């Protein structure tokens, strides 16, 4: 639930509310009584379920509540790992040494946990022989021994043939 949706104290504009006390006890009271109870305890009256009939409110320290929610969001973002898509480009008439070199890069990117898009670029008359590009991509797959998953098999896209590989999930 977003903090912006929550109404506090005088922002709550209804006659009757369901108040949840600290001990978990619920009671139906008017909004003025609920506000008085909150002021006596020097806390805020926070609407936690605005869609309920009548709306559910709770007496709490709103600043502390907001801080705790923001802390949870920050912690969940820390645990996320951003996957980057790296691209390796080559041509259908690539030399053996160059293919070894590029394949090694693909393997390194996968080891780092990144997705890799391997692309073969066709120019001019090379477009008539797309099977050469397919052979190059298959050769790359043979050279990268290890753990990978093919997200997208080799496919022509205009003047390019590409495939996308991602690392296998580590257990």
Whether 84 and 108 have beta carbons less than 8 Å apart is answered as: no
CA separation for the pair 41, 63 (Å, rounded): 15
Sheet holding 56-60, edge to edge: 26-30, 16-20, 56-60, 44-49
- Mean pLDDT over 137-152 rounds to 86
Domain with CATH 3.30.110.10 in the chain: 85-167
CATH superfamily of the domain spanning 85-167: Translation initiation factor 3 (IF-3), C-terminal domain (3.30.110.10)
Residue with tokens 């477009």: 127
Please tell me the distance from the alpha carbon of residue 106 to that of residue 70, in angstroms, as a whole number.
38
Report the pLDDT averaged over residues 4-31: 80
| DSSP-derived secondary structure letter, 55 | P
Residue 2's pLDDT is: 52
132, pLDDT greater than 60: yes
What is the average pLDDT across 75-82? 79
Domain(s) labelled CATH 3.10.20.80 in the chain stretch across 3-77
| Tens digit of each residue's pLDDT (9 = 90 or more) over 37-64 | 888 888 888 888 878 888 888 888 888 8
Place of tokens 């496919």: 155
- pLDDT at res. 160: 93
Instruction: Decide: residue 21, CB within 10 A, 0-12 exposed, 13-18 middle, 19+ buried.
Output: exposed
**What pLDDT is recorded for position 5?**
64
Q: What is the pTM of this model?
A: 0.53
- How is domain 3-77 classified at the CATH fold level? Ubiquitin-like (UB roll) (3.10.20)
Instruction: Please report the pLDDT score of residue 101 as a whole number.
Output: 93
pLDDT at 118 over 90: yes
Percent over 90 (pLDDT), the chain: 23
What pLDDT score was predicted for residue 121? Answer: 94
The pLDDT of residue 79 is 77
pLDDT-based confidence at residue 170 (cuts at 50, 70, 90): low
| Comparison of pLDDT for 152 and 7, the residue scoring more | 152
Q: Of residues 160 and 113, which shows the higher confidence score?
A: 160
Distance CA 129, CA 126 (A): 5
Q: Is 101 left (phi over 0), alpha (psi -120 to 50) or beta?
A: alpha
Check whether 163 has a pLDDT greater than 90.
yes
- Helix, strand, coil shares, percent, the chain, to 5: 40, 30, 30
CA distance 91 to 127: 11
Please provide the distance, in angstroms rounded to a whole number, between the alpha carbons at the two ends of the chain: 32
């Amino acid at each position: 639930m977003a903090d912006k949706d929550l109404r506090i104290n005088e922002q709550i504009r209804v006659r009757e509310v369901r108040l949840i006390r600290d001990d978990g006890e619920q009671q139906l009271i008017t909004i003025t009584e609920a506000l008085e109870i909150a002021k006596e305890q020097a806390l805020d009256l926070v609407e936690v379920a605005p869609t309920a009939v009548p709306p559910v409110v709770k007496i709490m320290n709103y600043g502390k509540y907001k801080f705790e929610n923001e802390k949870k969001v920050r912690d969940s973002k820390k645990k996320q790992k951003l996957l980057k898509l790296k691209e390796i480009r080559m041509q259908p008439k690539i030399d053996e040494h160059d293919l070894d070199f590029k394949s090694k890069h693909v393997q390194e990117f996968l080891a780092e946990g990144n997705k890799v898009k391997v692309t073969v670029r066709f120019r001019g008359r090379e477009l008539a022989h797309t099977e050469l590009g397919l052979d190059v991509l298959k050769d790359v797959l043979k050279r990268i021994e290890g753990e990978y998953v093919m997200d997208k098999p080799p496919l022509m896209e205009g003047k390019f043939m590409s495939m996308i590989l991602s690392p296998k999930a580590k257990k």
